Structure 1
Amino acid sequence: MNEQLFIQDVTLRDGSHAIRHRFRVEDVRTIAAALDAAGVASIEVGHGDGLAGSSLNFGPSPVGGDLAWIAAAADVVTRARLTTVLLPGIGTIDDMKAAVDHGVRAIRLATHCTEADISRQHIAKARELGLDTSGFLMMSARTDPADLAEQAAVMEAAGAQCVFVADSSGQLTMTGYRDRVRALRDRLDAATEIGVHAHHNLGLSVANSIVAVEEGVTRVDASLAGLGAGAGNAPLEAFIAAADLQGWKHGCDLFALMDAADDLVRPLMDRPVQVDRETLSLGYTGVYGSFLRPAEQLARTYGLSTRDLLVEAGRRQMVAGQEDMLLDIALDLRARTDSPADTARTM
């Protein structure tokens, strides 16, 4: 692998999930400056659910939305490409234009892995605005490689310059990632890049990212200390260490990333970003990482097991944007627990 990898840090976007979207402006400024100095190619900033995601449904931001975070990063980033995410149906083209006005130079249009068609007009507008434009196929474990490749082709036809295989639930193994990247490479134009966005719920994010690069991926998502939904993303410093051992070019300063992870990011965690019974349940059952924190809150409120809530969400094949439906699950489980029949069986 002689081509230099494009390292995209997602600490300040996907990492938002892990701290309930409560980044302070000064946190964004400090972390973005450290990432820029450490040599990452792109720094993604915004609400975990993308532009306009700050809401009661997805989690409100204490600063009122994405633009304050984006402006803070733009103040200190001198080299890296400032990036954000938009989920059609949550964010709008007007939100995209506002992000550009505040310093964004690249955008990723994210959809469920079977719904690429809803991103067409957003991708076209992003290209018209001169943005580096990527498609982002979330929950890629939920469809087979051939169908995923067809969805990627929809994004490519709309103008996407790169398409990411996003394992939002952390359910894919190395074989699953390899098969999906190969399918995309066979289907897409050679000039269209492919990206990897791996989550760590099965503990495989770095391994999956390595396999993806071996299959031709050139853009790699990762975050400092793995900060992200569920058990987090591929830890940036761990992936860069492995890339060094592989002899891959990436342009990053490993020790600077180690320091930023431990000194700047870990102190912000109010819940360890790790593989535990709850986050492992996400990967095992294929549930989007953003379900973790609301499931934990509902479990405390109703005296339930977080794992039971997440397993049932997986059984119902819930997807991003349906986090509020966890309440229905909680009420169902609570009623089941309180039923006379269940009480008799436990006596």
Structure 2
Amino acid sequence: MTETTRRVLIYDPTLRDGHHAVRHQLDADQIRTYATAADAAGVPVVEIGHGNGLGASSEQIGRAKLTDDEMLTVARAALPHSRMAVFMAPGWGTSTDLRNAVKRGADLARIAAHCTEADVTERHLGLLRDLGTEAHSVLLMSHMASPAQLAEQCALLVQFGAQAVGIMDSAGHYLPDDVTERITAIVQAVGDVPVIFHGHANLGMALANSVAAVQAGATIIDGCARGFGAGAGNTQLEVLVAVLERMGYTTGIDLKRLLRAADIAQQHLMPAPPTVDSVSLVSGLAGVFSGFRLRVLEIAEREHVDPVDLFFALGARGVIAGQEDLILDVALQLKKEEV
């Protein structure tokens, strides 16, 4: 293994994915405080925004406390060294949102698509190329596609202009062997293009899955401070960095300062660190988007249905991110069946 292949780029979506856990209500002081600490630790890329990305703040998905402009302006000033990234899924965000993010100082943009719908990214990846902004692309709910399908879709993303491609375990459904198969197939399909993995902890496997991804050839790995993120949270950033460094990989991050950043995240961003509770576990087993957690709990309580049953029913329907309206429909159906 060469020095180049032993280096892993750590990508930190604490201030984007973490938003799911607090109903998108982070304020300017919270964003500034964590971004400053992450920058001081040498975290190379820090992602900012509403949990569902640019343009997603809405009554249906959840109205953020701050606008995209406000979040990006605050974060940019707090990140003099780290690159600032944004996330956008076509349908929630638009080309206008991307242009505006770049004007606000975004160095990198991730364009996301459902795991079998890479073609929806072509226009936006082309725009980023025209803007001269680094463009990555990720496939959501990737457990719903085979390794061969994911490899084919990632190859398309590269054709469209993505400079790094990969998968999100949006439901926290994977086991390490699942990740190994998928990352191996993607690496073989895209050659020298960097491959991304983003894990969730619903089955308690986020760190193991991230290690499996690196060993299979992924070179960009996501992690959130204290695991702050949707569902049971994301791969825990500070643990990820410590484990990779012990394995002989380099990240360029100052671990002591990163531990301080993680303490700051716990103290200032979250009511409590995420945990694998019963509902999160079932979400992972059912293969349901982790970001549905709070909405499922709210509707289950209101309609007097078991959230465990509701998650399994949503999984049986194959519901994906963006179909939040179906949560109520499925809950009412369960309620009707219980009568």
Q: TM-score, normalised by structure 1?
A: 0.94
Q: What amino acid maps onto 2:312 in structure 1? A: V
Q: What amino acid maps onto 1:224 in structure 2? A: A
Residue among 6, 11, 15 paired with 1:12 = 15
The structural deviation recorded for 1:189 is 2.9
CA distance in 2, matches of 1:258, 1:266: 12
CA distance in 1, matches of 2:265, 2:181: 36
Q: What amino acid maps onto 1:5 in structure 2? A: V
Equivalent position of 2:307 in the other structure: 306
Deviation track 1:118-154 (CA, whole Å, cap 9, x = no partner) reads 0001001111111111111011110000010000011
Q: What amino acid maps onto 1:31 in structure 2? A: Y
- The answer on whether the counterparts of 1:290 and 1:323 sit within 8 Å (CA) in structure 2 is no
- Inter-CA distance 73–225: structure 2 relative to 1 (3 Å threshold): same
- The answer on whether the counterparts of 1:10 and 1:222 sit within 8 Å (CA) in structure 2 is yes
Residue among 83, 98, 101 paired with 1:99 = 101
Q: Which runs of 5+ in 1 are unaligned?
A: 340-347
Structure index of larger Rg: 1
CA distance in 2, matches of 1:153, 1:264: 36
For the pair 1:258 / 2:259, whether they are aligned, the reply is yes
Deviation track 1:104-124 (CA, whole Å, cap 9, x = no partner) reads 010000000000000001001
Deviation track 1:74-114 (CA, whole Å, cap 9, x = no partner) reads 01111111000110111000100001111101000000000
Residue among 170, 182, 185 paired with 1:183 = 185
Q: Which runs of 5+ in 2 are unaligned?
A: none
Q: What amino acid maps onto 1:248 in structure 2? A: Y
* Corresponding residue pairs, total: 336
Please give the residue correspondences for 1:268-287 in structure 2 after superposition, counting only pairs within 5 Å: 268-270=269-271, 272-287=273-288
Equivalent position of 2:219 in the other structure: 218
Equivalent position of 2:291 in the other structure: 290
Residue among 141, 159, 174 paired with 2:161 = 159
Residue among 50, 56, 64 paired with 1:61 = 64
Residue among 31, 34, 37 paired with 2:34 = 31
RMSD: 1.2
CA distance in 1, matches of 2:187, 2:23: 36
Q: What amino acid maps onto 1:12 in structure 2? A: L
- The answer on whether the counterparts of 2:166 and 2:186 sit within 8 Å (CA) in structure 1 is no
Residue among 110, 116, 119 paired with 1:117 = 119
Moved runs in structure 1, 4+ residues, more than 4 A? none
- Inter-CA distance 331–266: structure 2 relative to 1 (3 Å threshold): farther
Please give the residue correspondences for 1:181-260 in structure 2 after superposition, counting only pairs within 5 Å: 181-190=183-192, 192-260=193-261
Equivalent position of 1:43 in the other structure: 46
Equivalent position of 1:344 in the other structure: none
Q: What amino acid maps onto 1:325 in structure 2? A: L
The structural deviation recorded for 1:304 is 1.9
After alignment, is 20-29 or 270-279 more displaced?
Answer: 270-279
Equivalent position of 2:141 in the other structure: 139
Partner SS state of residue 196, structure 2: strand
- The answer on whether the counterparts of 1:18 and 1:271 sit within 8 Å (CA) in structure 2 is no
CA distance in 1, matches of 2:264, 2:128: 35
Identity, % of aligned pairs? 38
